[in-house]
């Protein structure tokens, strides 16, 4: 993907700090909808890229951190089916999606190991850092502390690669949707504080701000409301609510395709496992976490297994423009500025 090539170029550059800032969920449509067109982000928007598919945090941030595509790492979506324990497991939390209990599997990093670019650079004696939120050891719980740590690192180092990730505006968009005033207020405050923070950086620093995916306001459909569809499933649905993986009972494939087209064909594009792996993941091997079919959202709907599932007001992982377009925001701080 082009975004990975951009990051690789920054990793291999030298003679200045290289700061990559990932703001979760801040797609191009989010910028246009919530921010002033003359603000710092919009005025420094130099290009638009296509997000990693599925357009979701598990796939994209792992790709950004490792330099590898989702098919290489095995980090495909939020909740993946593991045959070893017959569970749909939330990858980052290591919990069963449908029971909320800790998975019977070991923590996912022991099952799907992948070394980060920062780890690799440090092992080679290069200067590299990750600045992360509080759910990561030594991470920051407060946005302002996260920014202070970025500024401190840039002012201490002169030839470092710095990967900095923050969970917003994704979390607030999920909770509120884009029509609510809360995400607009939050993102405008973030933009202002980031611009002010950059004014405190004194060492030469190349800055790239982007996102892992965009966002779209959603409504919900439930598999349990369609018993004929449910009857075809070998396991509960997995992966993402807008990029849905279906494991189908033997000899039910054709029947399932017909039923899916009847019930959901207006809102989702149904593709086979082979087509999804080749056309969307660009995979060079089969991936065990992908079922017989994958449904890609082309409209506002999410698919949930039942009415007990968590319902969010905004989502991603589909193939709409709102979800796939991510910004390339560039800024250069020259030494002695």
- Buried b vs exposed e over 120-134: b needs ≥16 C-beta within 10 Å? ebeeeeebbbbbbbe
Q: Tell me the pTM.
A: 0.96
Position 12 scores a pLDDT of 95
pLDDT in tens, 186-208: 999 999 999 999 999 999 999 99
User: Which domains are present in the chain?
Assistant: 2-75+114-214+323-333 (3.40.720.10), 217-315 (3.30.1360.180)
Please provide the average confidence, as pLDDT, over all residues in the chain: 96
For every one of its 337 residues, what pLDDT tens digit does the chain have, with 9 covering 90 and above?
589 999 999 999 999 999 999 999 999 999 999 999 999 999 999 999 999 999 999 999 999 999 999 999 999 999 999 999 999 999 999 999 999 999 988 876 666 678 899 999 999 999 999 999 998 889 999 999 999 999 999 999 999 999 999 999 999 999 999 999 999 999 999 999 999 999 999 999 999 999 999 999 999 999 999 999 999 999 999 999 999 999 999 999 999 999 999 999 999 999 999 999 999 999 999 999 999 999 999 999 999 999 999 999 999 999 999 999 999 999 999 864 4
> For residue 74, is it left (φ>0), alpha (ψ between -120 and 50) or beta?
left
Q: Find out whether 56 and 77 touch, Cβ atoms under 8 Å.
A: yes
Three-state DSSP class for residue 202: coil
pLDDT in tens, 269-296: 999 999 999 999 999 999 999 999 999 9
């Amino acid at each position: 993907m082009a975004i990975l090539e951009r990051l690789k170029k920054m990793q291999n550059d030298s003679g200045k700090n290289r700061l990559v800032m990932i703001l979760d969920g801040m797609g191009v449509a989010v910028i246009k909808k919530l921010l002033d067109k003359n603000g710092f982000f919009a005025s420094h928007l130099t290009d638009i890229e296509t997000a990693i598919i599925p357009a979701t945090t598990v796939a994209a941030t792992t790709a950004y951190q490792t330099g590898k595509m989702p098919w290489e790492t095995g980090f495909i979506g939020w909740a993946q089916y593991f045959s070893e324990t017959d569970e749909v497991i939330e990858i980052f939390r290591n919990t069963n999606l449908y029971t909320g209990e800790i998975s019977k599997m070991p923590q996912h990093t022991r099952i799907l190991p992948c070394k980060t670019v920062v780890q690799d650079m440090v092992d080679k004696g290069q200067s590299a850092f990750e600045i992360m939120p509080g759910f990561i050891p030594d991470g920051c719980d407060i946005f302002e502390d996260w920014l202070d740590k970025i500024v401190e690192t840039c002012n201490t180092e002169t030839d470092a690669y710095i990967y900095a990730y923050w969970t917003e505006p994704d979390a607030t968009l999920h909770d509120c949707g884009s029509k609510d005033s809360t995400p607009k207020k939050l993102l405008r405050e973030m933009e202002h504080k980031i611009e002010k923070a950059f004014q405190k950086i004194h060492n030469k620093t190349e800055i790239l701000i982007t996102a892992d995916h965009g966002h779209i306001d959603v409504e919900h459909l439930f598999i349990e409301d369609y018993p004929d569809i449910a009857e075809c499933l070998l396991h509960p649905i997995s992966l993402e609510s807008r990029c849905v993986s279906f494991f189908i009972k033997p000899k039910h494939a054709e029947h399932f395709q017909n039923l899916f087209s009847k019930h959901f064909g207006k809102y989702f594009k149904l593709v086979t496992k082979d087509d999804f792996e080749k056309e969307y993941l660009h995979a060079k091997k089969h991936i065990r976490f992908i079922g017989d079919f994958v449904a890609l959202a082309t409209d506002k709907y999410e698919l949930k297994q039942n009415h007990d599932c968590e319902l969010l007001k905004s989502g991603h992982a589909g193939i709409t423009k709102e979800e796939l377009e991510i910004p390339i925001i560039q800024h250069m701080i020259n030494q002695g500025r």
